[in-house]
Amino acid sequence: MNKKQIEKIKSETKSLDLTTSLLSHLEGYYYYFNWHAKQNNKLHKFNCGHCCYGSGKHTEAQKGEKGVWIGPFDSDSTADKILSDKFHIDKIAHCNCVNKEKKR
């Protein structure tokens, strides 16, 4: 599911409390860990075009074949701490979607 499809579903089902509730549980920050392309491992916000609520933008890709989405985390600082402490990831890069939000 891509970002446009998600926004379409949200707009079409705006009046449905259940849909809003389910989507709100998926909001947060996700870290993409790709063991094939380590330089692309980054923390993303749920509505980023790369992230799409932790499902990614490559819908045809077999899940888990090259990497996994970890999350959602409540905040970028929580994600950084957990990824560092529990997953032993030393350098946690942030996508531009996270960096833009910090500047607000």
What the block records as the tokens of 84 is: 């560092």
Per-residue pLDDT, 74: 92
Per-residue pLDDT tens digits of the chain, which is 104 residues long:
666 777 777 777 666 666 666 667 788 999 998 887 766 789 999 888 888 888 888 777 777 778 888 999 999 999 999 999 998 988 899 999 887 666 55
Phi, psi of 15 (to 5 degrees): -80, -5
Phi, psi of 60 (to 5 degrees): -85, -10
In sequence order, what DSSP letters do the residues of 11-40 get, joined into one string? Answer: HHTTT-HHHHHHHHHH-SEEEEEESS-GGG
Record the pTM: 0.72
